[in-house]
Structure 1
Amino acid sequence: MSMIGEYMRLAPHDLDVALADPESIRDLIDELWDLEDAGSEPDARLMDVDKAWHGLAFVLERAGVPTAVVHGDAQVPRSDDWGYGPPSWLSVERVGELSAALAELDADAVVGAVPGAALVEAEVYPLGMWADGDCKDYLIGHLKRLADFFAEAADAGMGMLVWID
């Protein structure tokens, strides 16, 4: 089973609902993913970075960007395990801050500055992937998508849920 980094951006009221009743939002997320799996258009509020989450956290930390981009700031209170622990959340303000930090990055340069050997040595998930030089394109693509996702959330004044499933 793979560990997938997932995100849901939420309007402030919906974020308040998620923090008060996380399982109701989890049910909505499951319904939205099921609809997408059945062929419906993807819901723009949801995104995943596949197995790149740990590699992204590693390269972002080296670039001086808070790993809250990948892990959130704080666990959602009273939440159950959503796969590999409870979800975390980011406030509207924090999404704006992180979006600005991501916008300043050159994804090619940030990822290019970290040799695959450093990912291997640090035992970054998924193990065995990082020795291959093609992994840089994988991380760059996901970093660019993540920066766009954060920018759209910041522009719309949204907060976020973040979890590993």
Structure 2
Amino acid sequence: MSMIGRYLRLTRDEFERACQDPRWAAEHARALYDRDDAAATARVLETDKAWHALDFLLNRRGFPVDVVYGEADMPWPEGEDWGYGPPRILTADRVRAAVDALDDHAPDILAEGVTPTDLAAASIYPTAIWERGEEADWVAAHWADLAKYLRAAAREGDAMLLWIT
């Protein structure tokens, strides 16, 4: 089973409701991920297995916002999770801060100077692909998708939930 990075955009009202009622947040996320229409697709995103490499590469470049794991814990009932722990939060202000930093962290330069050997040595998931010598081009493609998603969220004033399943 693969570990997949997931995102959910939330309006201000949805964000407040999610923080007050985490079970509603879980149901809302499931409902949007289960739908196959443009409105739902705009609210969710997956970075597939690129999440760990994204975190490594963005941290290496000094990206100022944790857009992979989120920056705050979400209140969450004991014993419930969404996969590999409960979701975490990016507030609307932190989404805007991430967007402000995007121009200095373009997808085409994200992996500059990093080899598959570097990623394997750092035990970046999924390690098998780096051990085979695959380049990180596909990670940059996920970064481009995430950057577009962040920009859309910032335009709308949305916050986010982030988690790994």
Number of the residue aligned with 2:107 = 107
How many positions carry a matched residue from both structures? Answer: 162
**1:120 — aligned with what?**
120
Shift of residue 134, structure 1, vs aligned partner: 4.3
Question: Which aligned runs of 4 or more in structure 1 are off by greater than 3 angstroms?
Answer: 131-135
Tell me how far apart the structure 2 counterparts of residues 45 and 35 of structure 1 sit (CA, whole Å). Answer: 11
Match of 2:82 in 1: 82
Offset at residue 112 of structure 1 (A): 2.4
Amino acid corresponding to residue 50 of structure 2 in structure 1:
A
Q: Are the aligned partners of 1:15 and 1:159 in contact in 2 as well (CA < 8 Å)?
A: yes
CA RMSD of aligned residues (A): 1.5
Unmatched 5+ residue regions in structure 2? Answer: none
1:102–1:16 CA distance, 2 compared to 1 (3 A): same
Counterpart of 1:52 in structure 2 is 50
Deviates more, 1:101-110 or 1:46-55: 101-110
Aligned counterparts of 1:27 and 1:132: Cα–Cα separation in 2? 39
Q: Secondary structure at the match of 1:160?
A: strand
* 3-state DSSP of counterpart to 2:108: helix
2-side partners of 1:83 and 1:107: how far apart?
A: 28
Q: TM-score, normalised by structure 2?
A: 0.91
CA shift at 1:106, angstroms? 2.1
* % identical equivalent positions: 38
